[in-house]
Amino acid sequence: MSSVDEEMRTVTIEVEPTKAGLAKDGLERVETPNIRGHGQFWLGIPHGGMTKDHTVVASITEMGAAGPVKGQARMQVSNVVPSSNLIEIWCNIDAPSDRTFRVQYFAAPN
Amino acid at 62: E
Amino acid at 43: L
- As a whole number, mean pLDDT of residues 14-34 equals 68
User: Which of the four pLDDT bands, split at 50, 70 and 90, describes residue 82?
Assistant: very high
Give the CATH number of the domain where residue 100 resides: 2.60.40
* pTM for the model: 0.80
Other CB atoms within a 10 A radius of the CB of residue 89 amount to 23
Binning the chain into helix, strand and coil, the percentages to the nearest 5 are 5, 60, 40
Residue 7 pLDDT > 60? no
Residue 61 pLDDT > 80? yes
> How many domains does one find in the chain?
1
Write out the residue range of the structural domain in which residue 83 sits. Answer: 2-108
Residue 1 pLDDT > 70? no
Name all contacts of 72-75 with Cβ < 8 Å and 24+ positions apart.
72/99, 73/38, 73/99, 75/99, 75/101
